[in-house]
Amino acid sequence: MDPPAEPTTKEAPKELAPGVPALTPEIIGTPNQGYLKRDSQIKREEDEGKIEFIVVKNDKKLSSMRNLIDLKNIIAKQLPRMPRNYIVRLTMDRQHEAMIIRKRASQ
């Protein structure tokens, strides 16, 4: 039985289509670094204070309830066929935690 053939490497095309650059490790990431290039913009915005990551749960605080209601509205908008009472039951569950990204209002 013959050993498996070695995969051949081809040079990546310079463009996938007119005006669309080819996928390179810089664009798609290298092993174990995933979306590092894309995430650097998010990290920069977080460092500048433009966005913040918040873990929110139903702890009966007014700020948490506002965040959960906003989250419920976003989910309802993105999933219009999902019943509203099901969304409310999931988001307002006392055991449920959600992570949200909040963009701060520009001054």
- CA separation for the pair 71, 51 (Å, rounded): 16
Residue type, 42: I
Instruction: Tell how far CA 28 is from the center of its chain.
Output: 16
Same domain, 41 and 54: no
Q: What is the pTM (predicted TM-score) of this model? A: 0.60
Same domain, 69 and 79: yes
Please check whether residue 67 is in contact with residue 54, taking contact to mean a CB–CB distance below 8 angstroms. Answer: yes
Please name which of 51, 95, 87, 81 lies closest in space to residue 69, comparing C-alpha atoms.
Answer: 87
- Region of poorest pLDDT, from 23-37, 71-85, 87-101: 23-37
Total domain count, the chain? 2
58-69, pLDDT tens digit by residue? 999 999 999 999
Q: Would you state the pLDDT for residue 36?
A: 61
Q: Which two tokens stand for residue 16?
A: 């996938």
Q: Is 17 helix (H, G, I), strand (E, B) or coil?
A: strand
Domain containing 40 equals 16-48
Same domain, 32 and 64: no
